[in-house]
């Protein structure tokens, strides 16, 4: 009797790991890439022959063909289960690529087209009576003023409400608050704008437009975000810190202001900054409340006030005589806005990383 | 938190013992907190009350008085249809992709790359919608024109691709795609969060039984994350339903109800309709627009409640 070949044991373990029905073999490590590139090239050729070649269609069909190809290739070598695993992995990676493509395209277009419109003049002058050139200084100032007012109103209210929910609240008021904050999160931004308009119209008459109206609209959108994030970080402040403070005879309000809030500080600041980044680019509520204007106005209680998002929309919607100059300004405003949002996001994360309290 | 209450009582006893001076601080602070809480409830009641008050004339006025001489219902119905169509289209496109993105980041990409990608997706979730609108009209719309012509030629027998295909790219399909791109980071952030919290024990158990990676994902990660993915999807749907600027910029509207996604004539959405018409409106037209805003609010509320019911049911299982 001849002994079995030495690598039989290896083979059988491998077939054990790769599941039943496996033939024990495996594809080369470049197989997924090979299948993908092959499939895309194949689809490109077929489309060229049929005469409707486009890059988008080539990639979409290429992905589909690649999924089928890798399955067909793997199945006789590795068995049905590994083949399915490979096909699904291919599908997920392809879907990831499909999902990322537009987002990368968006960033690329904003940067390239926005850079064309960015100039010193863009940041320093308003666009009163301009044909070409002109800037968005009034819109930048407006964005900052409107957002700052919204932050000044929302943060104290939101923060105190979160403190109420986490430190004091019990019974029906707390339950109602949890529920209605949920409801508030779902308010569409344009509805918040309509609310601010309806509120001010009642006092000042129809057609009223003011910067502060925009801030009120943004407040409606910002408060639930602030409460949610603040509640989240207050919740993870451990009870033993509070108890230690009480044991020293510290009253509750001092415990909250001197122990709980400092512990949660990094999280609170991060939450507020992310909430600010969310509302700073809002367009719809400001379109119906702050109006459109070409010249500088830094007084939120007096007259129409421009802001970056509405400025970008307006440059697109009603371009001047020189269309391209208007579109350039719209993209430049979009780029400025995206930069502000990105900077806020990055700073928020840095603050969190730098100042977060280690809670054990 | 029972022990919590006892400590509070101890604190109050101490405070009482020291002459009530501390107690006044406590009272003031807790009153401020309560006032803040009540303010928020009042704000929400205010939103509802002012919208109803300003929208009311639209419901009560006779058809002849209303702008365009049509009843409020026949005015708002096509808009509501367009809103739901755009939202559902966006969700149908975005959810599978968002789940794939989340799975890729949590279970397929190498750890270092995954961290970077997660950060990138979070940043994308914060991009203002006006920018998605500009991108849609200047970049995606023109790029989609040949693809839509192709759809009309090859798949024209399906009603949604009936055509004739738009030559400007300002169609419902492009709006759906842009909204999908917009809500994708939001849904995928939620999905990523929950996928990465799948208990390690479950995943390792599945692998110890000889599962392939996909079998492990299908049997542990997806069931664990299902209710969160649904709530993320509903969050995204809510955003898409209420989205104003991207739709207002991209869509070429003509009213009416049609399922044709690639044509010139599209139903508008409630939010876009308000943004387009509000600045030039006055009098009763404003009341009508505010009333449509109320309808939009009702639709998003209904979506949120539906989501909660679905999640509750999924969690009981």
Q: Are A267 and A232 in contact (CB under 8 A)?
A: yes
Cβ A284–B7 below 8 Å, yes or no?
no
How far is the alpha carbon of B211 from chain A, nearest alpha carbon, in Å? 8
Q: Are A351 and A270 in contact (CB under 8 A)?
A: yes
Asked whether residue B40 falls in the same domain as residue B87, the answer is no
* HSE of B306, CA atoms in CB hemisphere, 13 A: 13
Asked whether residue B292 falls in the same domain as residue B184, the answer is yes
Asked whether residue B81 falls in the same domain as residue B104, the answer is yes
Q: What is the pLDDT of residue A151?
A: 95
Q: Are A328 and A300 in contact (CB under 8 A)?
A: no
List all residues of chain B from 75 to 134 with a beta carbon under 8 Å from chain A: 96-98, 100-101, 103-104, 108, 119, 122-124, 126-134
| Of A202, A197, A287, A268, nearest in space to A229 by CA | A268
A188 has a chain B CB within 8 A of its CB: yes
Q: What is the pLDDT of residue A147?
A: 94
Would you say residue B62 lies in a domain? no
B275 has a chain A CB within 8 A of its CB: yes
Q: What is the pLDDT of residue B86?
A: 92
Cβ A54–B146 below 8 Å, yes or no?
yes
Would you say residue B63 lies in a domain? no
Number of folded domains in chain B? 2
Rounded Cα distance between A242 and A259, Å, is 7
Rounded Cα distance between A325 and A134, Å, is 9
Which residue in A52, A70, A91, A96 has the most chain B C-beta atoms within 10 A of its own C-beta, making it the best mutation to test that interface? A96
- Taking only the tens place, the pLDDT of each residue in A303-359 is 888 888 998 998 888 887 778 888 888 999 999 999 999 898 888 888 888 887 776
Residues of B in contact with A84 (CB under 8 A): 212, 214
Asked whether residue B44 falls in the same domain as residue B162, the answer is no
3-state secondary structure of B267: coil
Give the CA dihedral A65, A67, A73, A77, nearest 10 degrees: -170
Asked whether residue B236 falls in the same domain as residue B101, the answer is yes
Cβ A313–B245 below 8 Å, yes or no?
yes
Q: What is the pLDDT of residue A50?
A: 79
Which residue in A283, A304, A309, A346 has the most chain B C-beta atoms within 10 A of its own C-beta, making it the best mutation to test that interface? A283
| Of B193, B112, B136, nearest in space to A103 by CA | B136
Domain range spanning residue B117?
71-316
Would you say residue B64 lies in a domain? no
Rounded CA Rg of chain A: 29
What's the fold here for domain A121-355? MetI-like fold (1.10.3720)
3-state secondary structure of B24: helix
- Residue B51 tokens read as 């919208």
Count CB atoms within 10 A of the CB of residue A340: 20
Nearest to B30 among A168, A184, A197 (CB): A168
- Residue A155 tokens read as 């943060």
Angle between helix A137-163 and A211-235 (nearest 10): 40
Would you say residue B66 lies in a domain? no
What CATH number does residue B247 fall under?
A: 1.10.3720.10
- Residue A91 tokens read as 């599908």
Count CB atoms within 10 A of the CB of residue A358: 4
Residues of B in contact with A199 (CB under 8 A): 46, 50
- Which 8-state DSSP code applies to residue B1? -
Phi, psi (degrees; rounded to nearest 5) at B259: -90, -5
A345 has a chain B CB within 8 A of its CB: yes
| Of B292, B299, B224, nearest in space to B79 by CA | B292
Q: Are A297 and A138 in contact (CB under 8 A)?
A: yes
- Taking only the tens place, the pLDDT of each residue in A90-115 is 899 888 888 888 888 999 999 999 88
* HSE of A272, CA atoms in CB hemisphere, 13 A: 19
Cβ A281–B32 below 8 Å, yes or no?
no
Asked whether residue B288 falls in the same domain as residue B217, the answer is yes
Rounded Cα distance between A57 and A53, Å, is 7
Mean pLDDT across chain A: 84
Cβ A183–B35 below 8 Å, yes or no?
no
- Decide: residue B196, CB within 10 A, 0-12 exposed, 13-18 middle, 19+ buried: middle
Using H for helix, E for strand and C for coil, what is the string for chain A? CCCCCCCHHHHHHHHHHCCCCCCCCCCCCCHHHHHHHHHHHHHHHHHHHHCCCCHHHHHHHHHHHHHHHHHHHHHHHHCHHHHHHHHHHHHHHHHHHHHHHHHHHHHHHHHHHHHHHCCHHHHHCCCCCCCCCCCCHHHHHHHHHHHHHHHHHHHHHHHHHHHHHHHHCCCHHHHHHHHHHHHHHCCCHHHHHHHHHHHHHHHHCCCCCCHHHHHHHHHHHHHHHHHHHHHHHHHCCCHHHHHHHHHCCCCHHHHHHHHHHHHHHHHHHHHHHHHHHHHHCCCHHHHCCCCCCCCCCCCCCCCCCCCHHHHHHHHHHCCCCCHHHHHHHHHHHHHHHHHHHHHHHHHHHHHHHHHCCCCC
B197 has a chain A CB within 8 A of its CB: no
β-strand partners of B253: B266
Asked whether residue B307 falls in the same domain as residue B264, the answer is yes
Residues of A in contact with B44 (CB under 8 A): 180, 183-184
Cβ A337–B54 below 8 Å, yes or no?
no
Asked whether residue B102 falls in the same domain as residue B39, the answer is no
Would you say residue B36 lies in a domain? yes
| A to B CB pairs, distance under 8 Å | 290
* HSE of B85, CA atoms in CB hemisphere, 13 A: 25
Q: What is the mean pLDDT of each run of 10 residues along chain A (360 residues)?
A: 45 45 68 84 83 75 86 85 88 88 90 87 76 78 92 94 89 86 88 90 83 93 93 90 92 91 90 90 89 80 86 85 84 91 88 76
Rounded Cα distance between A284 and B296, Å, is 14
Q: Where are the alpha helices (DSSP H) in chain B?
A: 2-17, 21-60, 72-103, 111-125, 129-135, 141-155, 172-195, 200-208, 213-216, 222-242, 245-250, 270-277, 284-316
End-of-domain residue from the set B57, B80, B103: B57
Asked whether residue B163 falls in the same domain as residue B37, the answer is no
Rounded Cα distance between B246 and B175, Å, is 8
Asked whether residue B52 falls in the same domain as residue B182, the answer is no
- Which 8-state DSSP code applies to residue B139? I
For B11, B12, B20, the CA distances from A249, given in Å and listed in that order, are 6, 9, 13
Asked whether residue B31 falls in the same domain as residue B169, the answer is no
A17 has a chain B CB within 8 A of its CB: yes
Rounded Cα distance between B291 and B76, Å, is 9
B6 has a chain A CB within 8 A of its CB: no
β-strand partners of B266: B253
- pLDDT per position in chain B (317 positions), as tens? 344 444 455 555 554 555 455 578 888 888 899 999 999 999 989 888 988 988 888 887 777 777 777 788 888 889 999 999 999 999 999 999 999 999 999 988 888 888 888 888 888 888 898 999 999 999 988 888 888 887 888 787 777 777 677 778 888 899 999 999 999 998 998 898 889 888 888 888 998 898 888 889 988 898 888 888 888 898 889 889 988 888 998 888 877 777 888 777 788 899 999 988 888 887 888 889 999 999 999 999 888 888 878 777 766 54
Cβ A337–B242 below 8 Å, yes or no?
no
Asked whether residue B33 falls in the same domain as residue B172, the answer is no
A288 has a chain B CB within 8 A of its CB: yes
């Amino acid at each position: 009797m001849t002994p079995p070949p030495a690598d039989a044991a290896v083979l059988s373990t491998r077939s054990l790991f790769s599941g039943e029905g496996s033939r024990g073999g495996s594809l080369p490590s470049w197989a997924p890439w090979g299948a993908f590139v092959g499939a895309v090239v194949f689809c490109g050729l077929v489309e060229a022959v049929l005469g409707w070649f486009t890059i988008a269609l080539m990639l979409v069909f290429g992905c589909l063909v690649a999924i089928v190809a890798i399955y067909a290739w793997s199945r006789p070598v590795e068995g049905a289960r590994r083949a399915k695993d490979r096909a699904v992995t291919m599908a997920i990676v392809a879907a990831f690529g499909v999902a990322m493509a537009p987002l990368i395209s968006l960033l690329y277009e904003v940067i390239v087209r926005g850079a064309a419109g960015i100039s010193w003049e863009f940041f320093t002058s308003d666009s009163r009576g301009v044909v070409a050139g002109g800037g968005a200084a009034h819109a930048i100032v407006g964005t900052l003023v409107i957002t700052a007012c919204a932050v000044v109103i929302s943060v104290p209210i939101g923060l105190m409400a979160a403190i109420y929910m986490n430190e004091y609240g019990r019974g029906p008021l707390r339950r109602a608050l949890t529920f209605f904050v949920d409801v508030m999160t779902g308010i569409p931004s344009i509805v918040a704008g309509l609310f601010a308009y309806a509120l001010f119209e009642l006092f000042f008459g129809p057609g009223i437009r003011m910067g502060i109206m925009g801030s009120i609209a943004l407040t409606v959108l910002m408060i639930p975000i602030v409460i949610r994030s603040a509640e989240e970080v207050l919740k993870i402040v451990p009870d033993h810190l509070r108890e230690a403070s009480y044991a020293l005879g510290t009253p509750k309000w001092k415990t909250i202001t001197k122990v709980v809030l400092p512990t949660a500080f990094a999280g609170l600041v991060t939450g507020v900054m992310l909430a600010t980044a969310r509302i700073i680019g809002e367009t719809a509520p400001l379109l119906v409340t702050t109006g459109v204007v070409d010249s500088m106005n830094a007084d939120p209680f007096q007259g129409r006030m421009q802001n970056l998002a509405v400025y970008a929309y307006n440059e697109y919607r009603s371009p001047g005589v020189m269309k391209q100059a208007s579109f350039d300004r719209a993209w430049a405003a979009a780029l400025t806005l995206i930069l502000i949002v990105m900077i806020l996001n990055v700073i928020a994360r840095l603050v969190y990383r730098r100042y977060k309290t280690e809670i054990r | 938190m029972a022990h919590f209450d006892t400590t509070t009582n101890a604190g109050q006893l101490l405070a009482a013992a020291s002459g009530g001076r501390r107690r006044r601080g406590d009272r003031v602070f807790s009153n401020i907190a309560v006032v803040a809480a009540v303010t928020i409830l009042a704000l929400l009641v205010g939103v509802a009350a002012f919208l109803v008050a300003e929208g009311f004339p639209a419901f009560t006025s006779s058809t002849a008085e209303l702008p365009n001489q049509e009843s409020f219902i026949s005015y708002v119905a096509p808009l509501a249809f367009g809103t739901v169509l755009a939202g559902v289209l966006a969700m149908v496109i975005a959810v599978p992709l968002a789940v794939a993105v989340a799975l890729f980041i949590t279970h397929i990409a190498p750890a270092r790359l995954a961290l970077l990608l997660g950060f990138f997706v979070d940043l994308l979730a914060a991009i203002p919608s006006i920018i998605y609108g500009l991108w849609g009209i200047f970049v995606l719309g023109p790029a989609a024109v040949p693809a839509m012509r192709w759809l009309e030629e090859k798949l024209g027998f399906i009603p949604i691709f009936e055509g004739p295909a738009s030559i400007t790219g300002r169609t419902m399909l492009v709006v759906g795609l842009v909204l999908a791109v917009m809500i994708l980071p939001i849904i995928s952030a939620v999905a990523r969060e929950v996928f990465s919290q799948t208990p390690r024990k479950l995943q390792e158990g599945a692998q110890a039984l000889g599962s392939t990676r996909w079998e492990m994902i299908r049997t542990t990660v997806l069931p664990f994350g299902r209710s969160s993915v649904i709530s993320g999807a509903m969050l995204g749907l809510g955003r898409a339903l209420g989205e104003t600027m991207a739709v207002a910029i991209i869509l070429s509207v003509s009213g009416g109800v049609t399922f044709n996604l690639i044509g010139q004539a599209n139903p508008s959405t409630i939010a876009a309709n308000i943004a387009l018409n509000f600045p030039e409106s006055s009098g009763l037209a404003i009341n009508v627009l505010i009333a449509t805003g109320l309808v939009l609010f009702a639709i998003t509320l209904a979506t949120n409640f539906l989501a909660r019911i679905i999640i509750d049911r999924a969690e009981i299982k």
